[in-house]
Amino acid sequence: MIGRGKTVLVADPAELVRQMVSSSLRGLQFERVVTVEDAEDAERALESATIDLAVIDWELGRRSGFDLAADIRIGRVPPRLDLPIIMLVWSAAPRRVLAAQGLKLNGLVAKPLSRDALERKVATALNPPPAMPVAQRIAPKRFLGQAL
């Protein structure tokens, strides 16, 4: 299964959401699910445990989940810059999508949560598709393979 042997951090201020997300992740065979309700507790959990994936709500109270994700990406918060991060949002407004792309988040999942959507994002975050060579992304197919 997707989460076998892995630990995931779930940070959301709502206990019901933490329970729903945790239940979905346990169904994916995560070895350990660490739940917290704010950014400060999330930071402590990241510093004290080996976390393989973080599922963070955009709104975490005094300090936003977006700010926490930014601190992870710049190395201000351990464990590593490339930690897969999935952000939970009430609104997938274009500005939030662009901000998420700027932080190289591994996905946004809109609330109310869909178990299938969350599981797809988790699977993709932990097993990203292989990178496509630049030439295949930008060159028309008819030119690939032709001598330049």
Locate the domains of the chain by residue range.
7-143
Residues 94-127: tens digit of each pLDDT: 887 888 888 899 999 999 999 999 999 999 999 8
What distance in Å separates the CA atoms of residue 84 and residue 1, rounded to the nearest whole number? 17
Question: 118-130: string of b/e by CB count within 10 Å (b at 16+)?
Answer: bbebbeebbeeee
What distance in Å separates the CA atoms of residue 51 and residue 25, rounded to the nearest whole number? 14
Task: State the pTM of this model.
Answer: 0.84
Residues 34-69: tens digit of each pLDDT: 999 999 999 999 999 899 999 999 999 899 999 999
CATH fold of 7-143: Rossmann fold (3.40.50)
